[in-house]
Amino acid sequence: MLDLYQICALIATLAFVVLVVVVVRAVLQITKTAEAAEYLALTTAEKVDKTQSTFDLLEKASTFMDSGVYRTVAMGIDLVKRLKK
C-alpha cells in the first residue's frame, strides 16, 4: 500500500505534468497570436502605403481651403450671389 509521502509525490508529479501541459498550450497560443498580430501589422502597413496618395491629396485640398485664394474666390462667389438677388 502507498504511504503518505508516496501519495504526496504522486500528486505533486501529476500537478507538475498538468502545469507543463498548460504552459505548452499557452505558449503555442501566444505564438499563434503573435503571428496573427504580425500579419495584421504588415497588411495594415501595405494598405496605409497604398492610401498615402489620397492622404496627400486631402492635405493639399485642406491647405487650399485654408489659403487666401480660396477665401477670395468664395467671397467673390458670395458677392455675385447677393448681387443677383
Q: What is the mean pLDDT of each run of 10 residues along the chain (85 residues)?
A: 88 97 96 93 81 81 76 81 79
pLDDT recorded at residue 57: 83
φ, ψ for residue 2 (rounded to 5)? -80, 140
Answer whether 0.75 is exceeded by the pTM.
no
Q: What is the pLDDT of residue 19?
A: 97
Q: What is the pLDDT of residue 17?
A: 97
